[in-house]
Each structure stands twice: as C-alpha cells, then as structure tokens.
Amino acid sequence: MTITTHQGAPQFPTVLGSIAPSAREEMDAAIEVLQAHKDEWVAFSIHDRIDLIDRLIRDFAAIVSRWVKASIEAKGIAEDSLYVGEEWAAGAWPVLKNLRQLRQSLVDIEGNGHPKIPGRVTTRRGGQVVAQVFPDTIYDRIFFERIRA
C-alpha cells in the first residue's frame, strides 16, 4: 500500500523482487571483496581501463537482446508491440553510448590529461562558461538532425 504523499516524489510501496533478497552474510562478503580491491581500482592504469571498457562493450552487446526481452516481458509489452523500440532506445542504447564515450575520454586522458570537449567553449554575457558537448562524433551529426547541447 502506498503511503500518500503531497510533496515531491512518491513514497513507493515495498515490493518483493523476482530474486530473493541477499542474506546479510552475502552482503558482508560482497563489501569485504570490494574493500579489498578499492585501492587496486584506483591504481588500475588507464590503458587497462580501456581494455576493460572494450570487454564491457562486447559483453553488454552479447546480452542486449535478452536485456530488452526481459524488460518488455516484465512490463507487459508484447514482442510485436510498437513500444519495444523504447527499451532499445532508453534501456539499452545509452549503456553502449556511455561506454563508448567513456572509452574515448580515457584515450584523451591518456594522451592529454583530460577528455576532449567536442565543440566550442564560449562565455555567456555575465561570464558563465559554456562547453558544447553534443554532437560528440561525426555520427551524432548524421543521426541526430540539428540536435546540440
């Protein structure tokens, strides 16, 4: 049952997921592993991070059809529904798009110390600095007609 709210975002009701909640011992063990590796991550070289991202792109692409299928099934969207495109567009595409951009940023950091801003950097009246960040690639220009940010 939802607790009624008249301010802000919802107070969502508690629901049970399709996967049983983790036991405390499992959560403790997970945190222990992460604590043991957190400094290793900070020391992980940019070169190795780029390799990691390549692997993540490959592995996410390998499951992406199942990712979309799981989402539409859970949301009650039929496989031939016209809403399936939404799951590809918002549920899947941004993950690969971000991974590819992060990869490029890492390449730039390795080369110049910081990610390359793809567009112009200007100053508004009043002094506020504005960086144009989209389109980021030549392909963005082709696929996203007259959209910029």
Partner 1 sequence: MEPGVTVEDLPQTQAIAYHDKQRIGKVALVLGAGNVASIGPLDVLYKLFVENQVALFKANPVNAYLGPLLDEAFRVLINHGFLRIVYGGAAEGSYLCNHPGVDEIHITGSDKTFDAIVFGTGSEGAKRKAERAPLLTKRVTGELGNVSPVIVIPGSWKAGDLAYQAEHIDTMLTNNAGFNCNATRVIIQYAGWQQRSQLLQEMRRILAQIPPRRAYYPGAFERHQIFIEEHPEAEHIGLAKEQQLPWTFIAGVDPGNIDDVCFTTEAFCSLFAETALQAKSVPEYIDSAVAFANQHIWGTLNATIIVHPASLKDPAIAAAVERAIENLKYGTVGINIWAGAGFTFGTTTWGAFPGHEINNIQSGMGVVHNTLMFSRAQKSVLWGPFRSVLTPAWFVTRGKIACKLFPKLVAFEAAPSPLKVPGIMAAASGV
Residues 17-36 that bind partner 1 (CB under 8 A): 17-22, 24, 26-28, 30-36
The answer to the question of residue 13 lying near partner 1 (CB under 8 A) is yes
What angle, rounded to 10 degrees, do the helices at 93-112 and 46-74 form? Answer: 170
Q: How far apart are CA 53 and CA 50, in angstroms?
A: 5
- The contact pattern for partner 1, residues 83-112, with x = CB under 8 A and - = no contact, is xxxxxxxxxxxxxxxxxxxx-xxx--x---
CB of 59 to partner 1, least distance (A): 5
Q: Do the beta carbons of residue 81 and residue 74 sit within 8 Å?
A: no
Identity of residue 74: A
For the bound state, the minimum distance from the C-beta of residue 129 to partner 1, rounded and expressed in Å, comes to: 4
Out of 9, 47, 107, 141, the only residue in the binding site for partner 1 (CB under 8 A) is 9
What is d(CA 60, CA 84) in angstroms, rounded to the nearest whole number?
18
Judged by CB under 8 A, the residue of 47, 111, 123, 141 near partner 1 is: 123
